[in-house]
Structure 1
Amino acid sequence: MDFSSRNVETGFQHLCESVFVRLCQIVGTSVQVAIRRETVDITEMVERRVAENDEDIAILSGSMREGFRLKESDLDFMKWLNNHRVIWDMCQSEYYYTENKTLIISDSSESPPGFTLLELLTPTTDRRVQSACVPMNDRLYISSSLLRQQTQTHHYPGSTEHGPCESGEILGRLEYDFAWCFACDIWPPSASSWINRCLSWPDREVVDDIIRNGCHFVPIGHPLGLHEHEEWRISFSVAEHKLVHTMNHCQFLTYGLLKIFLKEVMDKLSEETNKLLCSYHMKTVVFWVIQQNVVPLWCPHNLLAGFWVCFKFLINWVYKGVCPNFFIPKNNLFLTKIHGSAQRSLFLQLHGLYEKGLVCLLQSPSIRSYITDVLYNPRLSICTNEDRMKSECEYDVGLFHEINRNVSQAPENLASCIKYLQVLELMIGEPLTQYQVLMLQRITAYILQNTAFSLHNMYTNTGLNKQMYIADRISRHMLKLAAKFGCISDMMFIAMHNYKALRYRDALSITKIIKDKLAQPDLMYYAHVDPERYTESVGGQSWSTKMRKAVARNIVLNNNVCYINELLTEQKSALQNNRHKSFIPLFVVVQFVEFLCYRHIDTTLAQTAQEELQVLVHHDQGLYVSEHHRDISWEILGICQQMTGNLHAALFSYQQSCTQYPWNKIQNATQMRIQDLHIT
């Protein structure tokens, strides 16, 4: 089919617009992508400002950080020591106070482009770095392979080493990559040519921002390097997500289409070639095409022209066996993978797709029907107005989901809570987007809750009644404030505080209000919502109002803080396994607190609360108790049964908890509780 013919110019535009609409459904509209990026941005900003010199800094990277939420999108994290910095030249050491910063110098004299050795210049107190040091030529270098071994934490069962990362799967579905690295505040000299290339894209402000943020070093050497096990790869991950964020939405969707085409078409060509190309190659080709200004106009009716140019670039690279890194072109990304017979085979297969023209997109299940609709109905009217593609409810589901997933703070004590509050107070006056304001609001509510319980715990059992009274009053005020600009679930923290302060009837009055709100037909519990009822009830109102009136989520407990004494064993177990937060279904917590309170008031009602909890845990099909949180839900049911003396039922519940996916990492606590039952 000749799409270049004038006779089909209108049909080609319709085809582009149809694929644009489909990609907005799969990848997201520009508003959805902005929500994803900006909520992550504000969380990262808070964490950077709060981090102490001797703490670690972790950021989300990869496709999720870029704004994708595809089924195959991995959770990619980078983590580095805040008190370690890499420099390129000895004279740069004067930028740092070496009493509190460990300096490392890059030595790339014997490494391939894009790789380097890292020499330890000043002493380090970090045992992992110490253990990874190896002597070479009378100097001490940090071995990338040894550091990978030292930092393997095995976050979840079945994790393995994959390149520079610890990789694994959560519940057999969501893949994650976790990479330890070192940070460098100074732009690499080997990437200086990139600065001079940026004439048309990106603009100078973005270039300056990228340069100011330097780069990172991930623990993987070049397979053909002289020191493969000691070398480190220069990572431009932060620079890359800034570049992706500068793309217009059509460019971003083209990148998304290439990722989809890779997974659904190119990876299916043959077993010999299905692992040769990766998503990073797709991103690289989009960068080069945009910067070289090959596509004159990136817009919906020209989307497939942009895709086709990128595809031709890729085929040409495979033919030559050269994929130049965007920042260091001398670093050939194909060097060790695409050569010889595999290269020839891949080229022939890609060229076969090229000869078919854009019809090759029909091999993509995600795109096929939208192409055939236009081919069979050339006069089909297509609306590319993004505002009409998604309903208000759909946007709200995405927004609140992103806000919930990005509340990652876990202050260790009251002093840490206060530091967070000080940082948040300073950020209120900064220029923020509407999504970032809401994200900041959500983080503030969570930190206030942490502060309230930390303060209460500090003065409990001190015998100083006046101080206990003052602390209790301040704590209650903070929790009420958090509930005012939080969601329905935030009221639960008031109920837990009342239980902790022995105000059982006050706690029960709050749980009743929560249960009434959870029974409302307009409730949004994650993606579970009746769109019509929700829109009828809160449509058109502010997000703050919607959140307070109609939105609920799971309860997130900071494991450094005691909220309910009966769960302290589980929180300690999680901390021992490097899990700083516990995630409990709201409906489970409501029944648990009711059970605990009624034990002091009415044993019959306590039994009723336990039975309701039992029905929920035994029979819920993922509506209120997700698969991720069944471990702690069974655990809480077992605790209730053990407290009432029903030991065999408790044993069964604990055993069920052990068989669930260990999301909350409470297995040690479960085993301890089973032993305490003394059932033979």
Structure 2
Amino acid sequence: MALSTLNRSSRVETGIQRMSESVFVGLCKKLGTSQQVAIRRETWDIREMLDRRVTPNDGLIEMLSGSKREGFRLKGSDVDLMYWPNNHRVIMDMSQSEYYNTAQKALILSDSSESPPGFTLLLTPIGYSSKLVQSASVKMNDRLYISSSIHRELLCSAVFSNSTVHGPCGSGAIGVQEYDTAYCYVYDFWPPSASLWIDRCHSWPGPEVVNDIVRSGCHFVAIGHPLGLHEYEEWRISFSQAEYKLVYSMNHSQFLTYGLLKLFLKEVINQQTEETDKLLCSYHMKTTVFWAIQQNTLLHWCPQNLLAGFWVCFKLLLKWVYKGICPNFFIPQNNMFLTKVYGSAQNRLFLQLHELYKKGLACLLQSSSIRSYIIDVLYHPRLFICVDEKLIWPEIITDVALYLAIKQSIRDEDLTCLHHCMKCLITVQHLIASPLTECQIIKLQTHTADIFKNIAFILKNMQINSSDNKHTYIADQMSLHMLKLAAKFGFLSDMLYIAMYYYKTLRYREALSVIEMTKFKLAQPYLMYWNHVDIERYTEAVGGQSWSTKLRLAFAVDIELYTDIYYISELIPEQQSARQNRGGALYIPVFVMLHFLEFLCYRHIDTSLSQAALDELQVLVHHHQGLFISNSRRDNSWEILGICQQITGDLQAALYSYQQSLITQDPCNKIKTATQKKIRDIMGITAQ
């Protein structure tokens, strides 16, 4: 009897391990393999590393936080951004002022004597500080403090217009992408209230991670404790930077367990009743995983134990809800359930979670994301599941992750300034000499190409009114050389910037030569553009080659035109419109730009070929929306088609295209002003 029970127990354990492996593979598909996650993190890390080194003393530092920084790319998740002024620093006592040049840094003294754990008051600096700080100051006990509530209201829409206050953030949406922006202040040291956390880190995280976290300090965000004495003046300590470093230190099974909890919250817990669907959040799931790992609740976090890890975390969460206590990972005295999970709401939530608990791991069948991976094992109990990433994920999976990570340029408005561009190049040179991963080197490579492209057109624009032929020739050769270097280091599509430059300098045949070469390369069946790639052809053509080679031969991205740099005269009204509406750049689909330039150049050489280029552009815009033209680029594409039609004198067709552009306007592009003016101009002409 005992042997039979043992055998049955062994079979159950084996079955759960197989389910765990199946869910592990499924989560890798949904959340990313370890390589995909590493690429997402590393490319953003190098982006911020460069940004912080080139930001001037009076500039704003930007930091991505939240799930996207941690390496997730879940559909519907928002973008969390933190900003702080580089010329302000928080200090805990006046002795720390010796570390700063007070002529350049405004020092904000923290006073936590009357605040709950994890919160503090911030005193207004005497003398040098921003007008914003002065405007948000209130007087209490004969001292001036920075009011978090006033500060939050003043800066709610500082980054993106029309934002609304949500916690310490300004929240809103651009298109379908939701965002939270928090304007905060940085503290360069580790807060004394979290000093015991360092002593707690015996098994996890390791000493190197702990030291890195402690050296990086923390931030103060504009929200007070609801039960504190000074709710509207207090600031909360934010450990966002420490948290993403902790998530980085997880192994992939731990990371996927955290991801599974996020999915379970969204797809199961929050679907129980409307009364309780706002009580728990993703931050509580993260805190649960942190505590479970540090407390050694599970000895081996591996694919075979993934569901065991989930169950450990779920039981801990259930315990916290029962007690009404969710201890902050860094400052346990800060109970994050205090003002949400209590009273009757707490009782209802506990009963709902307990019902799920009684079902055991079967409660995961309610999760739409992973149900099928559990059912597969239930129907095929002897199913062999491979969890070795090298064996189950083809090379293309990692390459697509790299493509998506590097195709986003490092958004730097100052790259329209020649001096700043040179500063960036020097910084890149220093970073290249430091230890970097391969994908970080590629990210720097593409950013260097962006800098070269900008310098080339800045130099050309500076020479517009010059009568000095020698210096004009030298500047022209420098610009061309930099554009050719950009094409060598950057994406395949970067060749079109050379064609733009030739067109701008009236060298139409040279431009067409580059366009023909680019057209040939873009027509290759192995091209990777947005989410479109022929996996088999791609693998045949560039499989096994370096990322640098793939970048040059197979990766194409949309054309980015900074609004402060004029590239070609035909798009100046659109650039001006975007700039007036706080837009930093125009983004044009690469195939649209190809035919646009071809049309413009052939107008000066062969009108029949110019018409053929326009016909190709028209087919592209009318029939390839979503394939070669993403939804967020439709307005720019219709706009360019309208420009070409207006140039040829086909005003009715141009009017239709401009109207389509207006209908499909994406908030990111901000060309509405230019489009409306073009429509008015045509209506005025046709009315005469």
Normalising by structure 2, what TM-score? Answer: 0.95
Is 1:233 aligned with 2:217? no
| Match of residue 572, structure 1, among 576, 587, 603 | 576
Amino acid at match of 2:335: N
SS in 1 for 2:156: coil
| Match of residue 483, structure 2, among 479, 483, 486 | 479
Q: Distance in 2 between matches of 1:3 and 1:459?
A: 84
Q: Distance in 2 between matches of 1:417 and 1:575?
A: 20
| Match of residue 14, structure 1, among 3, 6, 18 | 18
| Match of residue 331, structure 1, among 314, 325, 334 | 334
2:364 aligned partner: 361
Q: Distance in 2 between matches of 1:111 and 1:88?
A: 14
Matches within 5 A, 1:541-556: 541-556=545-560
Is 1:67 aligned with 2:40? no
Matches within 5 A, 1:52-63: 52-63=56-67
1:388 aligned partner: 391
Q: Distance in 1 between matches of 2:576 and 2:129?
A: 26
SS in 1 for 2:86: strand
Instruction: Report how far residue 3 of structure 1 moved.
Output: 12
Q: Distance in 2 between matches of 1:489 and 1:447?
A: 15
* Aligned residues of 1:40 and 1:406 also touching (Cα < 8 A): no
| Match of residue 290, structure 1, among 282, 289, 293 | 293
SS in 1 for 2:138: strand
Is 1:438 aligned with 2:442? yes
Instruction: Report how far residue 371 of structure 1 moved.
Output: 0.9
* Structure 1: gaps (5+ residues): none
Instruction: Report how far residue 291 of structure 1 moved.
Output: 0.9
Instruction: Report how far residue 648 of structure 1 moved.
Output: 3.6
SS in 2 for 1:25: helix
Is 1:194 aligned with 2:214? no
2:226 aligned partner: 223
* Aligned residues of 2:21 and 2:304 also touching (Cα < 8 A): yes
| Match of residue 663, structure 1, among 663, 668, 677 | 668
Is 1:279 aligned with 2:279? no
Q: Distance in 2 between matches of 1:527 and 1:55?
A: 35
Instruction: Report how far residue 406 of structure 1 moved.
Output: 4.9
Q: Distance in 2 between matches of 1:653 and 1:579?
A: 22
* Aligned residues of 1:161 and 1:167 also touching (Cα < 8 A): yes
Is 1:175 aligned with 2:178? yes
2:377 aligned partner: 374
| Match of residue 32, structure 2, among 28, 32, 35 | 28
**Relative to structure 1, is the Cα distance of residues 62 and 342 closer, same or farther in structure 2, using a 3 angstrom cutoff?**
same
Which stretch has the larger CA shift, 314-323 or 400-409?
400-409
SS in 2 for 1:521: coil
1:632 aligned partner: 636
1:246 aligned partner: 249
**Deviation digits for residues 650-673 of structure 1 (CA, Å, limit 9, x no counterpart):** 333333222222221122232333
**Deviation digits for residues 311-367 of structure 1 (CA, Å, limit 9, x no counterpart):** 000000000111011111111111111111110000011011111111111111111
Amino acid at match of 1:162: H
**Relative to structure 1, is the Cα distance of residues 289 and 131 closer, same or farther in structure 2, using a 3 angstrom cutoff?**
same
Instruction: Report how far residue 281 of structure 1 moved.
Output: 0.3
* Aligned residues of 1:39 and 1:406 also touching (Cα < 8 A): no
Q: Distance in 2 between matches of 1:469 and 1:125?
A: 47
Instruction: Report how far residue 294 of structure 1 moved.
Output: 1.2
**Deviation digits for residues 442-473 of structure 1 (CA, Å, limit 9, x no counterpart):** 11111111111112211222111111110110
**Deviation digits for residues 389-413 of structure 1 (CA, Å, limit 9, x no counterpart):** 3211222111111111253234131
Instruction: Report how far residue 4 of structure 1 moved.
Output: 9.5
Instruction: Report how far residue 124 of structure 1 moved.
Output: 4.8
Amino acid at match of 2:543: G
Q: Distance in 2 between matches of 1:371 and 1:470?
A: 67
Instruction: Report how far residue 205 of structure 1 moved.
Output: 1.4
Instruction: Report how far residue 38 of structure 1 moved.
Output: 0.6
SS in 1 for 2:108: strand
Instruction: Report how far residue 122 of structure 1 moved.
Output: 3.4
Matches within 5 A, 1:597-636: 597-636=601-640
Amino acid at match of 1:637: L
Amino acid at match of 1:635: E
Amino acid at match of 2:678: R
| Match of residue 588, structure 2, among 570, 584, 587 | 584
Q: Distance in 2 between matches of 1:556 and 1:394?
A: 26
1:88 aligned partner: 92
SS in 2 for 1:251: helix
Instruction: Report how far residue 308 of structure 1 moved.
Output: 0.6
Normalising by structure 1, what TM-score? Answer: 0.96
Which stretch has the larger CA shift, 27-36 or 113-122?
113-122
**Relative to structure 1, is the Cα distance of residues 155 and 431 closer, same or farther in structure 2, using a 3 angstrom cutoff?**
closer
Q: Distance in 2 between matches of 1:141 and 1:115?
A: 14
2:116 aligned partner: 112
| Match of residue 401, structure 1, among 401, 404, 408 | 404
| Match of residue 148, structure 2, among 144, 153, 156 | 144
Q: Distance in 2 between matches of 1:566 and 1:129?
A: 43
Q: Distance in 2 between matches of 1:656 and 1:417?
A: 37
**Relative to structure 1, is the Cα distance of residues 225 and 296 closer, same or farther in structure 2, using a 3 angstrom cutoff?**
same
* Aligned residues of 2:268 and 2:367 also touching (Cα < 8 A): yes
Q: Distance in 2 between matches of 1:326 and 1:482?
A: 46
Is 1:673 aligned with 2:681? no
**Relative to structure 1, is the Cα distance of residues 87 and 359 closer, same or farther in structure 2, using a 3 angstrom cutoff?**
same
Q: Distance in 1 between matches of 2:186 and 2:316?
A: 32
* Aligned residues of 1:83 and 1:102 also touching (Cα < 8 A): yes
* Aligned residues of 2:558 and 2:589 also touching (Cα < 8 A): yes
1:209 aligned partner: 212
Amino acid at match of 2:285: M
**Relative to structure 1, is the Cα distance of residues 632 and 133 closer, same or farther in structure 2, using a 3 angstrom cutoff?**
farther
| Match of residue 649, structure 2, among 633, 640, 645 | 645
Q: Distance in 1 between matches of 2:231 and 2:56?
A: 33
Amino acid at match of 1:414: L
Instruction: Report how far residue 155 of structure 1 moved.
Output: 6.5
Q: Distance in 1 between matches of 2:430 and 2:369?
A: 45
Amino acid at match of 1:378: P
Amino acid at match of 2:284: H
Q: Distance in 2 between matches of 1:634 and 1:133?
A: 49
Q: Distance in 1 between matches of 2:296 and 2:312?
A: 11
Instruction: Report how far residue 186 of structure 1 moved.
Output: 1.5
1:258 aligned partner: 261
Aligned length: 679
Q: Distance in 1 between matches of 2:248 and 2:647?
A: 53
| Match of residue 51, structure 1, among 42, 48, 55 | 55
* Structure 2: gaps (5+ residues): none
Q: Distance in 2 between matches of 1:3 and 1:218?
A: 55
| Match of residue 465, structure 1, among 469, 484, 487 | 469
Amino acid at match of 1:362: L
**Relative to structure 1, is the Cα distance of residues 211 and 406 closer, same or farther in structure 2, using a 3 angstrom cutoff?**
farther
Q: Distance in 2 between matches of 1:590 and 1:546?
A: 21
* Aligned residues of 2:155 and 2:183 also touching (Cα < 8 A): yes
Instruction: Report how far residue 62 of structure 1 moved.
Output: 0.6
1:160 aligned partner: 164
| Match of residue 520, structure 1, among 524, 538, 544 | 524
Which stretch has the larger CA shift, 433-442 or 559-568?
559-568
2:506 aligned partner: 502
| Match of residue 598, structure 2, among 594, 597, 611 | 594
**Deviation digits for residues 234-285 of structure 1 (CA, Å, limit 9, x no counterpart):** 1110110000000011110110110011111111111111111000000001
SS in 1 for 2:123: strand
1:301 aligned partner: 304
**Relative to structure 1, is the Cα distance of residues 25 and 114 closer, same or farther in structure 2, using a 3 angstrom cutoff?**
same
Amino acid at match of 2:679: I
Amino acid at match of 1:446: D
Q: Distance in 2 between matches of 1:490 and 1:132?
A: 46
SS in 2 for 1:405: coil
Instruction: Report how far residue 56 of structure 1 moved.
Output: 0.8
Q: Distance in 2 between matches of 1:108 and 1:334?
A: 21
Matches within 5 A, 1:523-542: 523-542=527-546
